[in-house]
Amino acid sequence: MARVTLRNLAAHKIRLVLTAVAVILGVAFVAGTLVFTDTMNRKFDDLFDRIGENVAVDVRASRVVDSGDEGAPRPPLPQSVLALVRSVPGVKDPVGSVDGYAALVGRNGKVVGAGQNGPPQLGTNWSDDGVARLVSGRAPAAAGEVVVDRASAKKAGYAVGDQVTVLVKAGPRRATLVGTADIGDMMGATIVAFDTPTAQSLLLRPGYFSEIRMGSTGPDEATLRDRVARVLPSGTEAVTGAKLRDENKSAVASFMGFFRTFLLVFALISIFVGAFIIFNTFSMLVAQRTRELALLRAIGAARSQVTRAVIGEAVAVGFVGSTLGLGAGVGLAALLQSTTGGGGGLTFTATPVLWSYTVGIVVTVVSAYFPARRAAKVPPVAAMRDDVAMPQRSMRIRLAAGSLLTLVGAALITLGLFGHVSNAVVPVGVGAFAVFLGVALLAPVISRPVVRVLGWPFARLLRTPGRLARQNALRNPRRTAATASALMIGLALITAVNVLGSSMRSSVEAQVDKQFGADYVVEPTGAGGLAPELVARVKATGGVKDAGAMYSGSAKISGKRVRYTSGDTAEMLSGTRARLVSGSGALGRDGMLVDEATARKDSLSVGSAVPLLFPDGRTETLHVRGVYAKNQFLGGRVVAQGAYLAHTPDPAVDVIIVTADRADAATKAAIERTLSARPDVKVQDQSALKADARKQVDGFVTFLTILLIMSVVIAAVGVVNTLALSVIERTREIGLLRAIGISRRQLRRMIRAESVVIAVFGALLGIGIGVAFGAALQHALRDKGLSELSVPVGTLAGYLVVAAVIGVLAALWPAWRAGRMDVLKAISTE
């Protein structure tokens, strides 16, 4: 039977190559994701190993309140701690580190690497610790001198000796570029280094460090850590260099693990779609070889041998597809790496190889298993018949199973979205999978009435070719449904994403209309925040009536971390159109406001005392002065500005809320002139705020859609495969049609029309399911701010057109091949 398998592979090369494409694309997604994330993990590990190579002990402030962000800065350390650790026996070369925000402005006036999703813009103090290596010039020795990493200097167009502009939280600073440094592969990050006193003044606080690192003259890290810990003041801690490196690597590994899982979900969707294609292809191949299989049974082949022969073909297809997919995945990983700004080679481990072959071969074999079982059931006597057909099960079983799966899936989705379960992802994911399988089983039943309707325009416009196309699509509803189901899955998910995106846009716009009462907001585009002094400058601008700062912070209440906003309370309440339900907005020094949900949850009312543990380690009791209605901009809590500033050593303004005497273009231009030296700051009115929100949502939707397009491409390959096999299956029929007078042009039209009907049928199923999924998700997220349901009808109509175009393109090769058939040979085909 091995020879039979090899002969069949050689005889059906084109068909099996088309099947292998589905495997290649799915495996490429999996392999590319694994290789890329392995590469990024290795790069970060190398970076942290290099940074912490000579660090035996790290001294830092204790984190009293976890902000929820591992990368968030800790409270600064006073410079006096450096003198304390110098006196500890075994300490070698202790160095204070200063870290903060510093952005380099290029010759074009734009910030290098600017953007909310761009690489970090880091400021630090220069130290000769071996991490950074000067490649030109010298180290900064005084105020007004900086060293910039070589890659950023090149992007900005600067050379040693040039005057450069560096943006820090307090504003722009002019400096001389005295050197460029090689800091290794920082994945596009910008590094600006000052001398230590200047860095402390600009990035942190004069006389303070972010952390203090030291080597060892002999003691092991644990011993030296214990010695250092004994001399440290309260509120500080010492950790070993190994722990510091592990923490950094763990934070990156956690993010990369999430990113890997995120991408693999989309890869598995592509593989799931590919499984439909493989199943369909092998079903058609088995059906076309029914007589051949019956002859094998007649000459003594056992059922298990026939099954193994078909499975052997599947293994071969899976192996070839996995091999080519692995190669394509490496190329995809290289492309992803280039988009991150990183360099160097890829990290290639055994994991992508094992998973690529496992996924590719297992999915192919599982998808081909049921066609193989059906092949084994062909009776030997079928070899003596002219009209041999594979046995078909009743549609009643599919109808019952499909209905059951769809109902169970819908119930699981409902449970996950509305049942307040601890991990909603599992029931929603399993439910969605069950719904897809259920609808795929029901599709043959649904296809008959839908295909009749979809095929009607073709029957009217194309006449005979159109009628034949409709009949061909109706002839085998299982095949039509299986082909359409592959397209259905991808378009269902794309539609759900677009419904969610449209609902997010509508919800944000509704919230802005309802809760945006300010004339303008001023906010940074980078991560540094704004200095409080900038508020006074904006307030003094002509045409501005008032301006107030808005901060954000973290604290602990009853041992639980909470987020809050703070700032100029009057401006915040006015600028967000907050509606007080009870109490007053006058907070004084020790007041706070809570929204209605927080008040109910924590049993608070006007006058309640709430102890807050702040990040500086001090606890202060604040009193609830008022309760306000839910407000997306304010969040659940507002803390008095005096309390926030008293416990925040280095406050950074998140947003400046501006009220104007006259909100017109002149006033906005005046504010922009005031901020002209800050290209990292933007001024937005209501329309600009909406446009910015739309841009962010559109970017997110586009990103997800691009990831899902792979499944649509695989589905399109499935349409090509089905039509190509269908043309081969109907060779004699096509010859007879040509013999009775149908032209090549009409024949091609017939095949194209059939393809369009199948593709549009799949698109209608997908869009219908996607709208239902999107609406359910929007309803479940109403309390999270997704208040408006919006269905992008125009976009969905565009997807129907795209599906029709996919149908036309998928039919080009099969139609061309059908048109080139020799009539006499086609008629004589058995």
Domain ranges of the chain: 1-54+240-391, 55-239, 446-516+686-830, 520-684
pLDDT at residue 769 is higher than 60:
yes
Which of 319-335 are b and which e, b meaning 16 or more Cβ less than 10 Å from the residue's Cβ? Answer: bbbbbbbbebbbebbee
And the tokens for 534?
């900038």
**Residue 567: beta bridge partners?**
550, 640
**Is pLDDT above 60 for 116?**
no
The full 3-state SS of 30-93, as one line of letters, equals HHHHHHHHHHHHHHHHHHHHHHCCCCCEEEEECCCCCCCCCCCCCCCEECHHHHHHHCCCCEEE
Minimal CA–CA distance to 814: which of 705, 725, 702, 695? 725
Average pLDDT on 30-50 reads 83
> Is the per-residue pLDDT at 310 higher than 50?
yes
Q: Span 401-422, mean pLDDT?
A: 82
Of the candidate ranges 268-282, 642-656, 749-763, the one whose mean pLDDT is the lowest? 268-282
- Averaged over 587-603, what is the pLDDT? 94
Question: For the segment 190-212, what is each residue's pLDDT rounded down to a tens digit?
Answer: 899 999 999 999 998 899 999 99
Q: What is the mean pLDDT of residues 536-564?
A: 92
Q: Which of 123-127, 131-135, 406-410, 722-726 has the lowest mean pLDDT?
A: 722-726
Q: How far apart are CA 555 and CA 566, in angstroms?
A: 12
Q: What pLDDT is attached to residue 388?
A: 47
CA dist list (Å): 562 to 235, 594, 630:
21, 12, 16
Q: Give the highest mean pLDDT range of 142-146, 275-279, 682-686, 719-723.
A: 142-146
pLDDT tens by residue, 157-166: 999 999 999 9
pLDDT of residue 14: 66
Interhelix angle 303-339/2-11, rounded to 10 degrees, is: 50
Mean pLDDT of the 804-829 span:
82
Specify the pairing of strand 609-613 against strand 190-194: unpaired
3-state class (DSSP) for residue 656: strand
Mean pLDDT, all residues of the chain:
85
The pLDDT value recorded for residue 2 is: 60
pTM of the model: 0.80
- Is 69's pLDDT higher than 70? no
Residues 250 and 257: their CA atoms lie apart, in Å, by 10
User: Among the listed ranges 4-13, 619-628, 691-700, which one has the minimum average pLDDT value?
Assistant: 4-13
What is the rounded distance in angstroms from the CA atom of residue 264 to the CA atom of residue 260?
Answer: 6
Highest mean predicted confidence (pLDDT) among 140-154, 718-732, 814-828: 140-154
Query: Residue range 123-141: average pLDDT?
Result: 86
Give the pLDDT score at 734: 81
pLDDT average, residue stretch 169-173 = 89
513: confidence class by pLDDT, cuts 50, 70, 90: confident
Residue 355: both structure tokens together: 């998973």
DSSP code of residue 653: B
Tokens of 765: 């199923």
- 547 or 730, which is more confident? 547
648 pLDDT above the threshold of 50: yes
Residue-level pLDDT at 410: 87
**Residue 391 pLDDT exceeds 60:** no
* Residue-level pLDDT at 479: 79
Mean pLDDT of 789-807: 92
Least confident of 171-180, 301-310, 350-359: 301-310
pLDDT over 70 percentage in the chain = 91
Give pairs for 421-428: CB < 8 Å, separation 24+: none
- Burial, 580: exposed, middle or buried (Cβ in 10 Å; 0-12, 13-18, 19+)? middle
